[in-house]
Amino acid sequence: MRPPRLEIGAGAAFGFAALCLFLSGEELQALLLPVTVHELGHLGAMLALGFRPQSFRAEPGGFQIAYSGEGGALAHSLAAAAGPLAGLLYALAAARLQPVLGLSWLYLSAGLSLALSLLNLLPALPLDGGQILLQLACAALGERRGERLLHSLSLLTGAALLAAGGALALRGRGVALALVGLSLLFHALRQAGLVKMRKIR
């Protein structure tokens, strides 16, 4: 079996360079550990379910794993859910270990992992929550109706996050949530017709 390809986009390389520039070593470690655990959760589940990873692509929004293999909606949903589940378990473990190990950055890492996991469970593509719902909706309603449902949910979720993020930005709470909403809206709007993708973030 051929090993999976590793692809790094220019935007991802620039983003990583910016993180190295603006974050301290501990902050970078606190971020990269939960991201790694998240992706390893996906990978472990895919291998356990008999799927074959084909490529790992680093994008500005994170990693994307393309894979192949036969399996029902439940198997694909489990592969998508494994990343956020691994992140939640890591957040719990990091928070519990911080007082024992005395590493202050572990609390930050736990919080980042919790936020990443909950964000990825939102019902919008290309997030894991959207992938899970897409698989289940297509199995229950048919592919065409399932894709339309996820398209609508992606638009609504993106718009809601953009509105909430805009309100927070006006109060001086930062623009991160608004940028997430804008990204989800952009992804939904550029998809002329959604295709059930065997890709996991």
> Is residue 108 a contact partner of residue 30, using CB atoms and an 8 Å limit?
yes
Percent of the chain with pLDDT over 90: 58
pLDDT in tens, 121-139: 999 998 999 999 999 999 9
Q: If you average pLDDT over residues 13-40, what whole number do you get?
A: 86
Whole-prediction pTM: 0.85
pLDDT in tens, 55-114: 888 776 677 888 888 888 999 999 999 999 999 999 999 999 999 998 989 999 999 999
What's the CA gap between 86 and 63, in Å, rounded? 15
> Is residue 59 a contact partner of residue 11, using CB atoms and an 8 Å limit?
yes
